[in-house]
């Protein structure tokens, strides 16, 4: 059996290895895997490096994106998602137009700067027309001052262009898993859940001129550290402008729930998510990274901790209370019983605790996007 001195020596060398990796100009796949495997002491170095990079390139400003969960009606049947079409136990809804405008007006008057309109994936002509109308009216109501991000799934190039012309300028389309084999384990094997079409959609968004965002779930069944390293490289190589990613949290009315006993602990998923945020910040120094609500689900101070290690976007929920418990992508979602004003006050305090300030009345567009446009 190796002596205690051996383990001390090995630990010191590993720490030196982490330090050496962090001073490199670029990271290899092996470097990223090493960072993802870092222990408690070593990951502190990673978090410190990510915080330094964020401050250098983006300062300490956090931008609000007022979140409107427009509808939980979805054409997809993804195995991990609580609003999958196969979940017949949820109450379906679509926000009335007046509720959307009330939320948008609140965001505008409170100086949020931007909105996110999120919904299940629908591509009917009626849905497309409704979203177009909403975009036009929100832009008119705010004198063009509210920035708008959409997260409405895969669409045709024509639809993406229509929404862009109507006023949306950022689009989040999460890949969820960049490994084709893992992706196939998370979705039904049919044309509605086509990995290549999702990739194609991301490229269409870039072609049209959107600020493009994607992201993954962390701690999925069947997922490896190598998968996560490849996810980070996928986002770097796709040259994304923004990222929304967070821990996988199981939902009892999904097929993946049967694997709940095989998952790493929620604490481990949370820490691994912090590592992913920090390493992505190191890889892509000037993109926007969201501190997801799922982080707060697993840790009461989850969003603050995400901000400290590299995140710079927070999304206060503006969805009317009576609909929030119907938009449950995962279990134990926080803030479903808080009014918008309560959520706002809470987030202001949390961001202050994290040592950051809120960039009110600003779109907070991706600096990475701006540099590419130059």
Assigned domain for 272 exists: no
Query: Each residue of 174-190: pLDDT tens digit?
Result: 999 999 999 999 999 99
Q: Which domain holds residue 190?
A: 61-244+252-263+319-373
Long-range contacts of 28-33 (CB under 8 A, 24+ apart): 29/229, 29/230, 29/233, 32/229, 32/232, 32/233, 32/279, 32/283, 33/225, 33/226, 33/229
Report the length, in residues, of the chain.
374
Helices 225-238 and 29-36, packing angle to 10 deg = 130
Assigned domain for 48 exists: no
Question: What is the distance in angstroms between the CA of the first residue and the CA of the last residue of the chain?
Answer: 59
Domains: count for the chain: 1
Q: How far apart are alpha carbons 302 and 88 in whole angstroms?
A: 31
Give the residue ranges of DSSP H helices in the chain: 4-22, 29-36, 40-58, 97-109, 125-141, 157-166, 180-186, 195-208, 225-238, 266-283, 293-298, 302-308, 321-324, 340-353, 367-373
Q: How far apart are alpha carbons 293 and 118 in whole angstroms?
A: 14
Assigned domain for 56 exists: no
pLDDT classification of 236: cutoffs 50, 70, 90 = very high
pLDDT at 330: 74
Assigned domain for 26 exists: no
Residue 264 burial (C-beta neighbours within 10 Å; 0-12, 13-18, 19+): middle
Query: Each residue of 112-161: pLDDT tens digit?
Result: 999 999 999 999 999 999 999 999 999 999 999 999 999 999 999 999 99
Does the pTM surpass 0.75? The reply is yes
Assigned domain for 287 exists: no
Assigned domain for 1 exists: no
Query: Each residue of 284-293: pLDDT tens digit?
Result: 999 999 999 9
How high does pLDDT run on average in the chain? 93
The enclosing domain of 122 has a CATH number of 3.20.20.70
Per DSSP, 93 falls in state: -
């Amino acid at each position: 059996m190796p002596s205690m001195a051996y383990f001390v020596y090995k630990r010191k060398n590993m720490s030196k290895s982490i330090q050496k990796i962090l001073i490199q100009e670029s990271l290899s796949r092996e470097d990223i895997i090493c960072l993802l495997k870092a222990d408690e002491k070593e990951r502190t170095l990673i978090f410190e490096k990510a915080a330094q990079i964020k401050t250098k390139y983006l300062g300490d400003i956090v931008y609000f994106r007022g979140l409107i969960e427009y509808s939980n009606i979805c054409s997809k049947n993804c195995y991990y998602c609580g609003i999958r079409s196969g979940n017949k136990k949820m109450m379906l809804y679509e926000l009335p137009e007046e509720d959307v405008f009330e939320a948008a007006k609140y965001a505008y008057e409170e100086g949020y700067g931007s909105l996110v309109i999120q919904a299940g994936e629908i591509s009917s002509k009626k849905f497309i027309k409704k979203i177009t109308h909403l975009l036009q009216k929100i832009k008119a109501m705010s004198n063009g001052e509210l920035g708008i991000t959409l997260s409405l799934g895969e669409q045709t190039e024509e639809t993406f262009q229509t929404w862009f012309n109507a006023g949306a300028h950022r689009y989040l389309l999460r890949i969820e898993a960049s490994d084709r084999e893992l992706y196939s384990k998370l979705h039904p094997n049919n044309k509605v859940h086509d990995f290549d079409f999702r990739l194609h959609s991301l490229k269409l968004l870039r072609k049209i001129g959107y600020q493009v965002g994607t992201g993954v779930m962390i701690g999925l069944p069947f997922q490896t550290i190598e998968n996560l390293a490849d996810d980070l490289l996928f986002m770097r190589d796709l040259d994304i402008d923004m990222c929304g990613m967070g821990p996988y949290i199981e939902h009892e009315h999904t097929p993946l729930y049967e694997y709940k006993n095989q998952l790493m602990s929620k604490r481990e998923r949370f820490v691994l998510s912090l590592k992913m945020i920090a390493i992505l910040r190191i890889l892509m120094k000037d993109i926007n990274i969201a501190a997801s609500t799922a982080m707060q689900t697993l840790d009461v101070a989850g969003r603050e901790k995400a901000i400290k290690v590299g995140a710079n976007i927070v999304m206060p929920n503006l969805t009317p209370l009576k609909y929030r418990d119907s938009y449950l992508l995962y279990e134990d979602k926080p803030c479903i019983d808080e009014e918008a004003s309560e959520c706002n006050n809470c987030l202001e305090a949390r961001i202050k605790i994290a040592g950051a300030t809120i960039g009110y009345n600003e779109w907070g567009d991706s600096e990475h996007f701006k540099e590419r446009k130059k």
